[in-house]
Amino acid sequence: MKITTWNVNGIRAALRKGIQNWIKEYIPDILCIQETKAKREQVDLSALKDLGYKFVWNAAERPGYSGVATFYKIKPGNIRIGMGNDIFDKEGRVIQTSYQDYELFNIYFPNGGRGRERVQYKLDFYAYLLKLCDGLHKQGKKIIITGDFNTAHKEIDLKNPRENRKVSGFLPEERVWVDYYLKHGFIDIYRYLYPEKIQYTWWTYRFHARERGIGWRIDYYLISKELIDIIDDVVIFDQVQGSDHCPVSLQIEDIYKKGIRRK
């Protein structure tokens, strides 16, 4: 089973660039898209429907801004749009889909780059989501959080950490929130599997950053620690074009799809 996350930086533009060709080749079972920047009725999804996907859409109130969509071949048991707080939900940042063994969150975390007020908004978003996840963990639920976290956790996760110490996305007060999640039962599964590997998932369009290997790893999978044993791999497709981000895929062992637990 494959769950793929991809910030497409505008789904209409990304489809014009041909992202559906990679999706057709790879065929994720669940595709979590961030930054759709469109209402549902503004997008021709026939290419993805032809691949057998159904979907759920969460658009921001503000036109051409934010937004997430989850495309799936495996039907979820339940779907929840947003987190139940209009302060955050009006920006169209969260879709939660429920499966037998985990809750999947597709999230476009806020970007704090527009000033101190937005940094605080971002921190409040992290806090509200963690409280929600704490409640699910107390109920015995297992969780997968994926999407664009808009934060590089450690120095290994970006090319130029020293130069970016005062830049939103690598501020200490942002990075510590990833630590909080790890202390609350989550694991950054890519870093768990590859503690010293350097790969990036986002590159600015400026300065030929992608060609020069100047990037950040900000697209993550945080999983409940109880799920570790059923994870086969996390793959960063850093050669795939179509956005300033690349797709990242969580691969879950096939026998798990059949409901068989690894001993």
Whether 224 has a pLDDT exceeding 90, the answer reads: yes
Tens digits of residue pLDDT in 2-27: 999 999 999 999 999 999 999 999 99
pLDDT of residue 118: 97
Whether 54 has a pLDDT exceeding 60, the answer reads: yes
- Kindly write down the DSSP assignment for every residue of 17-69, as one continuous string: TTHHHHHHHH--SEEEEE---S-GGG---HHHHTTT-EEEEE--SSTTS--EE
**Tokens standing for 156?**
């290994």
pLDDT of residue 253: 85
29 is catalytic: no
Q: Single out the catalytic residue among 148, 188, 238, 244.
A: 148
CATH numeric code, 2-257: 3.60.10.10
pLDDT of residue 113: 84
pLDDT of residue 258: 46
Q: Give CA 121 to chain center in angstroms.
A: 18
Q: Residue 81: pLDDT band by 50, 70, 90 thresholds?
A: very high
The pTM (predicted TM-score) of the whole model is: 0.95
Which amino acid is located at 121 in the chain?
Y
pLDDT > 90 fraction of the chain, expressed in percent and rounded: 95
pLDDT of residue 115: 82
pLDDT of residue 177: 98
**Tokens standing for 253?**
């062992």
* CA-CA-CA-CA torsion sign (207, 5, 195, 152): positive
- Tell me what the mean pLDDT of segment 139-155 comes to: 98
| C-alpha span between 100 and 51 (Å, rounded) | 24
Tens digits of residue pLDDT in 109-142: 999 987 899 999 999 999 999 999 999 999 999 9
- Tell me what the mean pLDDT of segment 69-91 comes to: 97
Rounded to the nearest 10 degrees, the angle between the axes of helix 172-183 and helix 116-138 is: 0
Average pLDDT over all residues of the chain = 95
Domain boundaries, given as residue ranges, for the chain: 2-257
Whether 160 has a pLDDT exceeding 70, the answer reads: yes
- Tell me what the mean pLDDT of segment 233-249 comes to: 98
Q: Residue 259: pLDDT band by 50, 70, 90 thresholds?
A: very low
- Tell me what the mean pLDDT of segment 224-233 comes to: 97
